[in-house]
Every structure is written in C-alpha cells, then in structure tokens.
Amino acid sequence: EAGVTQSPRYAVLQEGQAVSFWCDPISGHDTLYWYQQPRDQGPQLLVYFRDEAVIDNSQLPSDRFSAVRPKGTNSTLKIQSAKQGDTATYLCASSPGTTSAETLYFGSGTRLTVL
Amino acid sequence: AQKVTQTQTSISVMEKTTVTMDCVYETQDSSYFLFWYKQTASGEIVFLIRQDSYKKENATVGHYSLNFQKPKSSIGLIITATQIEDSAVYFCAMRENYAQGLTFGLGTRVSVFP
C-alpha cells in the first residue's frame, strides 16, 4: 500500500512569491491534514478535511494561506506572497476517518525556505 | 483546549540502556487519546504507540511502553534496550475527540551512543 505522497520535496522562494504544495493521501483515507513544522518545533495543525469539506481551517496563519481538496482525494496547500516567517516543513497526513483513536500517517513533507 | 508539553529538549543515552521521556497534557475532556510519534533524521514521522484515557493498563508495543499517570496528566514514553536506530526526535500528541486534529508537543531529541 502506497503511503502519503507529497511534492515537491523542497522549495526555495524569495519573499513575495507564491508556492503550492501537493498531497496524495493513502487510498481510502477520508481525512486529510496539513501541518506546519517550524525548525526544532512540533507539527502545528493548519487545516483538515473530511472528504472535500473543510472541517477546521481556523489555524491557517492568514489569508495568504489557502487549501483545497476538490474531489476528496488529493489536496493542495498554497501560500501567496510568502514571508520569511513561513519558512518551515509542511506536512500532509491522512487517516481513515472513523474514530478518535486512529493514528495519522504522514508524508515526507515539503521543506520551504523563504529568503 | 488541548495542550501538550514536553520539557526535555534532548537526552543522550548509551546503547542497550533504557531511556524515559516525559510529557504532560491539558484537557477538559474525560475521554481522550495520547500518542507518541518518532521523527527520524530524514524527517519521516512514524506512529509508535497510543494510550486511551479510559484504559488503566499502560500500553506496550515492542520495546516501547508508556507510563500513564492520569491524576498527574502525564504520559511518559519508555524505550528499553535502546539501539542506535532509536536516535530521533520523539513527539507526544493528543486528541480530545474526533472533531480535532492531533496536538503535538515540541519534541525530545534522543541520541543513542555506542
């Protein structure tokens, strides 16, 4: 069974540029999460979906961040006009979406550097 | 709101010994789930073990075990017979209910030396 796939693996931008991150969850997983992990910190939830619906996007840092999951499968996280403070690893995770006890399965992440 | 605190930044141990790391949490719910994850040097995050709040028995998986002290809101991770490959950052996480994502602590870096 394929794991959670993310691309690109790395991204380097100048401030003000836009970037998109793509995630393909494990097949059959209804719930998809985006986390931001600054250097030397734990993952911090940004947004998550159940199927195509946004369940919680209250932790998205600002209106520069947006996320979609139009068909309830793949997802894209976009940062418009990136800032140096956005430098972090962006992690996608998925879960079957059935119980509170279930674990999350993480992708390898996209390491973003904003110069 | 759920909160997770890991106060140990890093721990160094000799191979084949036991390492213990701490985690305390805050929650208003009577039912919740606690998780430990491992992040390797490559950045991969892997689930290790889970403790359900309503279970009194400490969870054990392979050479990982938990020290669940509910009155203290504490969930420690114990790794016995450590190996070099156990060198990683360990994260404690919790979920109060299905409507929320996991909340992670800052992590504890474990270095295992030969």
Which of A45, A101, A104 is closest, CB to CB, to B52? A101
Q: Does the beta-carbon distance from A33 to B101 stay under 8 Å? A: yes
Residue B99 confidence (pLDDT): 63
Residues 6+ apart with CB under 8 A from A31: A48, A49, A50, A55, A94, A95, A96, A97
Residue A54 confidence (pLDDT): 92
Residue B98 confidence (pLDDT): 62
**What is the pLDDT tens value at each position of chain A, 115 positions in all?**
689 999 999 999 999 999 999 999 999 999 999 999 999 999 999 999 999 999 888 889 878 999 999 988 999 999 999 999 999 999 999 998 777 778 899 999 999 999 9
Residue A103 confidence (pLDDT): 87
Q: How many CA atoms lie within 13 A of A79 on its CB side?
A: 28
Cα Dmax for chain B: 44
**What is the pLDDT tens value at each position of chain B, 114 positions in all?**
789 999 999 999 999 999 999 999 999 888 899 999 999 999 999 999 999 999 999 999 999 999 999 999 999 999 999 999 999 999 999 998 766 788 999 999 999 999
Residue B41 tokens read as: 């040097």
Give the CA dihedral A41, A111, A106, B92, nearest 10 degrees. -10
Query: How far B91 CA lies from chain A's nearest CA (Å)?
Result: 7
Which of A93, A100, A109 is closest, CB to CB, to B98? A100
B100: chain A residues, CB-CB within 8 Å: 56
Residue B4 confidence (pLDDT): 96
Residue B89 tokens read as: 């950052």
B106: chain A residues, CB-CB within 8 Å: 40-42
Query: How far A7 CA lies from chain B's nearest CA (Å)?
Result: 14
